[in-house]
């Protein structure tokens, strides 16, 4: 569906800008007005990885005035096969800073804003606010649903992309624009779907391997990333018909593009007629393969790794139990944790040991695993055994290593 321009044009272009963007200016659909809109635009790119690399370079080359980069990771040698914004010389550097330097080399007229932090419920609104458009280059379902929901609540459209091996997908989700003060945008987006309309539920963990597990053809990133930028330019300048209500599917092996319709789901939990999701939720649980009973047990009984870190420093009245397997415990661990694998909880053998560790319940029980899925199941068992004040650690040791102790290896 055609949309009005997202951005008002800047007052003028400098002589240098006219020279730089001349090939845009002579396109009737873009022209001076369209280029001025790009100059005035603020676009946030989430991730400076496979999709974020080409997206950032082409957005910068196109003359988008302000580019935000959300990225917390460092450049690794394995990234260079596809993440073309980084170089051999930037291995070990923060990806956000490496990407910013590359953007400056492409176009020094672009203002770059760095958000060197992991996107989560606590910072997503602060980071998103003030941007006209979001380009989503994330690679996990929990963050994708977080991006979708936050963008919807803030009324910001976003361009989504996904890659795996030889297959890619791209779409534009603009459901939040229906609440826009711009009546033309609101009317055009009245039937726009959101990501949840396309994927109401995430797949069970393990069903869809990550790129790290299943691989990705490096050049596929450029194919899908360039489609995302193409859609971004159309949205910002108000030209053409963006992929709102459409899903572009690309098969690189067969060199085949297909465009599928995506309809607004009237029963969507977020943007439907009777929404159930009215605020940000726990996306790790939503995307985790846990039972409804375990999810209920974890509701209100989940602490963050930052809170656990503070507890370790300030308290001695709790017991931290790691429910992973022994081989995982050898890779990395949270200091002070005691290993009792999940299987011991499920067969009941853990209960006697828990009684000894907690002095028969006088100490609070804190559980953790790799990401928070197994510990939620163990939490259900513990609460059923009478440990009513037991809690578990959201994000598990993965979050601990990335946010608290990056000196430890990840797996």
User: Has 287 been annotated as catalytic?
Assistant: no
Regarding whether 299 and 270 lie in a shared domain, the answer is no
211 is catalytic: yes
Distance CA 369, CA 400 (A): 11
- Residue 89 tokens read as 């010389």
Same-domain status, 23 and 143: yes
Q: Are residues 300 and 198 both part of a single domain?
A: no
Cβ partners under 8 Å of residue 380, min gap 6: 291, 293, 294, 297
Query: Do 272 and 322 fall into the same domain?
Result: no
Do both 113 and 210 map to the same domain? yes
> Which ranges of 252-372 does DSSP label H, i.e. alpha helix?
283-286, 292-298, 305-314, 326-331, 342-346, 350-357
Same domain, 128 and 148: yes
In angstroms, the Cα distances linking 244 to 1, 89, 345, 407 are 6, 39, 47, 43
Do 341 and 258 share a structural domain?
A: no
**CB proximity list for 196: less than 8 A, separation 6 or greater:** 145, 148, 149, 265, 268, 269, 270, 271, 277
Closest C-alpha among 55, 44, 64 to residue 156:
44
278 with 295, same domain: the answer is no
In whole angstroms, give the CA distance from residue 234 to residue 120: 29
Domain boundary among 267, 284, 301: 284
CATH of the domain at 343: 3.40.250.10
Gyration radius of the chain over CA positions: 23
**Contact predicate 226/54, CB 8 Å:** yes
| Residues 322, 372 within the same domain | yes
Residue 307 lies in a domain: yes
Annotate 316-344 with b (16+ C-beta within 10 A) or e (fewer). Answer: eebbbbbbbeeebbeebbbeebeebbbeb
Residue showing tokens 């990335």: 402
Domain boundary residue, one of 234, 257, 284: 284
222 and 173 both lie in a single domain: yes
Output the pLDDT for position 211.
Answer: 64
Beta strands at 158-164 and 133-136: parallel, antiparallel or unpaired: parallel
Q: Which residue in 211, 221, 287, 378 is the catalytic one?
A: 211
CA angle, 72 as apex, 298 and 322 as ends, to 5°?
Answer: 35
Asked whether residue 204 falls in the same domain as residue 237, the answer is yes
pLDDT of 206: 44
Q: CATH number, domain at 26?
A: 3.40.50.720
First-residue to last-residue Cα distance in the chain? 43
Residue-level pLDDT, tens digit, the chain, 411 residues: 678 999 999 999 999 999 999 999 999 999 999 999 999 999 999 999 999 999 999 999 999 999 999 999 999 998 999 999 999 999 999 999 999 999 999 999 999 999 999 999 999 999 999 999 999 999 889 999 999 999 999 999 999 999 988 999 999 999 999 878 888 888 888 899 999 999 998 875 544 555 654 578 999 999 999 999 999 999 999 999 999 999 999 999 999 999 999 999 999 999 999 999 999 998 887 886 566 788 888 989 999 999 999 999 999 999 999 999 898 899 999 999 999 999 999 999 999 999 999 999 899 999 999 988 889 989 999 999 999 999 999 999 989 999 999 999 887
Of the residues 194, 197, 287, 369, only one is catalytic, namely 369
Q: Are residues 202 and 264 in the same domain?
A: yes
Closest CA to 113 of 71, 163, 150, 158: 71
Q: Show the domain range for 333.
A: 290-403
* Number of domains present in the structure of the chain: 2
């Amino acid at each position: 569906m055609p949309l009005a321009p997202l951005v008002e044009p800047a007052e003028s272009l400098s002589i240098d800008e006219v020279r730089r963007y001349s090939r845009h200016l002579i396109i009737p659909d873009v022209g001076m007005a369209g280029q001025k809109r790009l100059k005035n635009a603020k676009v946030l790119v989430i991730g400076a990885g496979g999709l974020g690399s080409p997206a950032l370079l082409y957005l910068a080359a196109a003359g988008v005035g302000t580019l935000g980069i959300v990225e917390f990771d460092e450049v690794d040698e394995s990234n260079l096969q596809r993440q073309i914004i980084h170089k051999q010389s930037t291995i070990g550097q923060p990806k956000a800073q490496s990407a910013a330097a590359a953007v400056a080399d492409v176009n020094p007229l672009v203002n770059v804003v760095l958000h060197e932090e992991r996107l989560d419920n606590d910072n997503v609104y602060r980071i998103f606010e003030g941007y006209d458009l979001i380009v989503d280059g994330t690679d996990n379902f929990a963050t994708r649903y977080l991006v979708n929901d936050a963008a919807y609540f803030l009324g910001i459209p976003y361009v989504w992309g996904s890659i795996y091996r030889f297959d890619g997908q791209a779409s534009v989700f603009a459901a939040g624009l229906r609440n826009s003060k711009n009546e033309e945008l609101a009317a055009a987006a009245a039937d726009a779907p959101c990501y949840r309309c396309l994927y109401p539920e995430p797949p069970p963990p393990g069903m869809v391997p990550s790129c790290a597990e299943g691989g990705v053809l490096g050049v596929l990133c450029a194919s899908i990333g360039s489609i995302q930028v193409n859609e971004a330019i159309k949205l910002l300048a108000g030209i053409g018909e963006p992929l709102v209500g459409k899903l572009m599917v690309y098969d690189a092996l067969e060199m085949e593009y297909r465009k599928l319709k995506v309809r607004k789901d009237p029963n969507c939990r977020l943007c439907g007629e009777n929404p159930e999701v009215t605020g940000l939720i726990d996306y790790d649980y939503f995307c985790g393969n846990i039972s409804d009973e375990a999810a209920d047990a974890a509701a209100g009984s989940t602490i963050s790794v930052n809170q656990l870190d503070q507890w370790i420093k300030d308290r001695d009245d709790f017991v931290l139990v790691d429910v992973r397997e022994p081989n995982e415990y050898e890779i990395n661990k949270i200091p002070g944790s005691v290993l009792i694998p999940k299987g011991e909880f499920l067969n009941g053998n853990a209960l006697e040991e828990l009684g000894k560790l907690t002095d028969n319940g006088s100490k609070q029980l804190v559980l953790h695993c790799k990401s928070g899925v197994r510990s939620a199941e163990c939490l259900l068992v513990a609460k059923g055994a009478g440990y009513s004040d037991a809690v578990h650690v959201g994000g598990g040791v993965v979050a601990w290593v990335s946010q608290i102790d990056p000196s430890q290896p990840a797996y």
